[in-house]
Amino acid sequence: MHDPMRYSHEGEEDVRGGNPVRLSAFLKALTGMKEKNLDLGPDILEEHKNNLWKNGMVFWNHFSDIYSTPDSEDLLKFLHPGMAVRCVSKKSTFNHLFTVYLKQENSDRLDEEHVTFCGVGVKDHITETDLIIRNREWTDTH
C-alpha cells in the first residue's frame, strides 16, 4: 500500500518514514479511485468535502483492536502513534477507523476540533469461482 501513496504531499515522496499522507492519496491507494469519483455519502456538505480534500491528512503505521466506539478525543490520541483501529465488535459497522486530521495552515498545535475519521467497511463477497477466475490477475504488477 505504501508504493501508491509515495506522493503524499506536493513534491514529497517518502511515506515509509512516517510522514502524514493526504487523505485523497490514502483513499486512492485504498480504493484505486480519484477523489472526484469517491462517494463520501449523501449527507456531506460541499464545504466539508472540500475541507477534507484540501486539509485532510492520515498518519498511520499500525492497527490496534478496540471493543468500544471511539470519540474525537480517542481519535486524537490515536493520531500521535500513527494508530488505526480495527473494530472487533460483531456489529455491522466499520471494520477499520483511520484518524483524519484537518491540518490548518496557520497552526502547529493539534486541536480536537480538527479531528474526524475515515471509516472502512469491508463488504467483499467473492465466491470461490470468482477467485479461480481472478487468480491470474494476482501478480507482482497487480
pLDDT at 67: 80
Closest C-alpha among 97, 63, 102 to residue 83: 63
pLDDT at 10: 45
131 pLDDT band (50/70/90 cuts)?
A: low
CA distance 50 to 128: 40
Closest C-alpha among 36, 33, 52, 32 to residue 44: 52
Write down the pTM of the prediction. 0.56
3-class SS of residue 141: coil
Give yes or no for a contact between 87 and 94, defined as CB atoms under 8 angstroms apart. Answer: yes
CA distance 134 to 128: 10
Q: Write out pLDDT tens, residues 35-84.
A: 888 887 778 888 988 888 988 888 877 778 888 778 878 877 777 677 77
CA distance 16 to 116: 23
